[in-house]
């Protein structure tokens, strides 16, 4: 008899777990959309003291993306920056800069669906 009561109670619990969420308040917030975005960036030597800072963001779902590519010197003072707000399938950023020898940090930051992602690379010229 005891086993039968436990089995019935367990079955009722399982039914409640399945059906009660459908009666939940519709005002609950759903988690933010997460886009499948990939990014690559770098600093390419063009000629002499001219370098090209570049970034490529692949945005297959074409969601709005705010991106900034910034080059810093060794003391983290900004040397050059380029930014965009776009929702294209491929977003490109590039800018030519003239650099002397030293250490530089290239940082790509982008914001999508309220979340910000930052990546940094170090270059010795």
Any domain includes 115: yes
CATH code, 62: 2.60.40.10
pTM of the model: 0.71
pLDDT tens across 43-89, in order?
999 999 999 999 999 999 999 999 999 999 999 999 999 999 999 99
The answer to whether position 60 is within a domain reads: yes
Q: Is residue 109 part of a domain?
A: yes
Look at residue 89 and tell me if it is in a domain: yes
Q: Is residue 15 part of a domain?
A: no
* Count of domains for the chain: 1
Per-position DSSP letters for 1-24, written without gaps between them: -HHHHHHHHHHHHHHHHHHGGGGS
Residue 90's domain comprises 38-124
């Amino acid at each position: 008899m005891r086993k039968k009561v436990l089995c019935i109670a367990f079955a009722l619990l399982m039914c409640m777990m399945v059906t009660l969420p459908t009666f939940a308040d519709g005002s609950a917030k759903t988690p933010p959309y997460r886009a499948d975005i990939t990014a690559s960036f770098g600093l390419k030597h063009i000629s002499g003291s001219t370098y090209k800072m570049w970034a490529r963001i692949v945005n297959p779902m074409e969601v709005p993306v705010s991106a900034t590519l910034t080059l810093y010197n060794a003391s983290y003072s900004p040397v050059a920056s380029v930014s965009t707000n776009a929702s294209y399938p491929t977003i490109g950023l590039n800018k030519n800069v003239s650099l002397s020898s030293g250490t530089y940090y290239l940082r790509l930051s982008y914001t999508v669906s309220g979340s910000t992602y930052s990546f940094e690379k170090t270059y010795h010229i």
